[in-house]
Amino acid sequence: MKMLSRDENSLNLPSAQAVKSAVMMTLICASALVLPLAIGFASANLSASNSLQGIILAGILFPALLLALLNTRMLIPYTLLIWAVAPELRRIADWYEGVYHSVSLLSLAPLLTGATLAIPVLREIHRIRKSSTRIMLLFSIALAYGALIGLAKNGIGSVYDLANYIVPLLLIPFFAVTPFKPKDIDRLLYAFANIAVLVAVYGIVQYLTVPPWDAFWMRNADMISIGTPYPLEIRVFSTLNSPGPAATFLVFALVPMILEKRWQGTLRWLGVLLVVVCLLTTLVRSAWLVLLVMLLVYIASSPSKGKWKTLFQLAFVAAALFWIVPKLPGAEGLVARMETLTSVQEDHSYNERLSLWTNMLPMVAGNPVGQGIGSVGQGTKLGNGGELGEYGNMDNGFIALLLTFGVLGALFFFGALGAVIREIGARVTRRNELQPYARLALAAWMGAVASLISDNGFPGLKGYLIWMLIGLGLSAKELNQSRKKGLPHAAVKRQITTR
């Protein structure tokens, strides 16, 4: 009997790429048919208010599903955009209805959009490296422990809070399985810069005019710490939901913009200055600490030639600010706020944080089991009638993590952070074209840890930005290995598949 060769036999079978394309088309067609029916059914059973929110939510989520199936590289810029603008869409929807909702379906938009990262991760899960698996395992143990305690003590609020931890962490396996080349990473950071410039421009407009939907939200949300809804009397929150997240988004975009020209976005240095000016109007001083830490870490880990170039760029930004800030409307308040950085011992906020540490540490020591996920932060609203719970505002990230996970859970959580920094460190020491991404990941890790003195930034928006920059750095080894072999990433994948 004549035996068919492997190549001849393969002619009679559909290729893996053809099968994959057929599956993708089937999923797209199914989504196109099922999603409109689901939206119609849900709208018919919801109130008019919830129906409007549901339609907007579905309109936001559908492009994310398509990108997760068809173009995974564009999924990250889209999710960044949704994290940035979803709070503003919520405010506009409330203003349009004339009703303020302390808890809104639109609050789920960033989480649901980010959750679509699971689609490419599950599709390519067999390609995740052991280093990424180890990190995810340590975080999973901490989160599982915190979730069990949280469900018992905090109810439904723990589910929302758990999602705020899990969705950002999906970025680690996402970058491990998605072949981002250096030019793809540069495009992602370029898009991030452009989104930050849009946030900054709107923030400056908000500072000068206070749009009616923002004023409506300020009056009803009863957040007296962000000023009054009048021009020049507001702490800018731009399209985000408060000055803190707005400052966080701007800082994590600003660091790459300052450090490398190819990461600056369309407006180049003008965009950098717009972001800095908007950051000033948020009056969030802890953001400047994170900015300084990240810049210094990146510069310190740079080659000697790169250090001088970056220092020159920082000097340029500082000189421009020295000239521009005094000429801004309401500059007196901005300057006065920044001057408090030189006398922190006399600052009310600093003394409150110091008091929080001394008062809460004995309490944490007396409760080593922890309060569980959902006990700290925004998740406390769900079980408290839309109002923040006892630990809704926790201005110390270390205390927040210990209070949430207890001693055992915190041990695994900080162990996972230690595993991350070891992986980053191994990549920083390699002198190649991928090293800038590793240095940026190192700067993000150090900035995240430094920011724990003011808040726990690992869940939610800040966590998403942290793990995005870290994930880009951790993916550098995979790209570097395929280049050493003289093969493109896709060719490496094909070789593994045919074995």
Sign of dihedral through CA atoms 29, 34, 40, 42?
Answer: negative
pLDDT in tens, 299-338: 888 776 667 777 777 787 777 777 776 666 666 666 665 6
Kindly give the residue spans of alpha helices, DSSP state H, lying in 261-303: 268-282, 285-300
pLDDT in tens, 236-266: 999 998 899 999 999 999 999 998 889 988 9
What's the CA gap between 23 and 29, in Å, rounded? 10
Residue 227 phi, psi dihedral angles, 5° rounding: 90, -160
Q: Average the pLDDT over each of 164-178, 211-225, 435-449, 475-489 and give the range with the smallest value.
A: 475-489
- Range with lowest mean pLDDT among 4-13, 257-266, 330-339, 465-474: 4-13
Least confident of 81-95, 101-115, 340-354, 406-420: 340-354
Higher pLDDT, 121 or 476: 121
Looking at residue 490, its pLDDT comes to 43
Answer yes or no: is pLDDT of 29 > 60: no
Looking at every residue in the chain, the average pLDDT score rounds to 79
Instruction: Assign 152 a pLDDT band (cuts: 50, 70, 90).
Output: confident
Reported for 266-274, long-range contacts at CB under 8 A and 24+ positions apart, including other chains, are 266/194, 266/197, 267/197, 269/316, 271/193, 271/194, 271/196, 271/197, 271/200, 272/317, 273/317, 273/320, 273/321, 273/324, 274/197, 274/200, 274/201, 274/204
pLDDT tops 50 at residue 13: no
- Greater confidence, 420 or 28? 420
**pLDDT number for residue 179:** 75
User: What percentage of the chain reaches a pLDDT higher than 90?
Assistant: 32
Q: How many angstroms separate the CA atoms of 196 and 272, rounded?
A: 9
Question: What confidence tier does 478 reach under pLDDT thresholds 50, 70, 90?
Answer: very low
Whether the pLDDT of residue 396 is over 90: the answer is no
d(CA 380, CA 160): 9
Residue scoring higher pLDDT (499 or 16) = 16
Q: How confident is the model at residue 433 (pLDDT cuts 50, 70, 90)?
A: confident
pLDDT at 357 over 50: yes
Give the pLDDT confidence of 198-235 residue by residue, as tens digits: 999 999 999 999 999 999 998 888 777 788 888 888 89
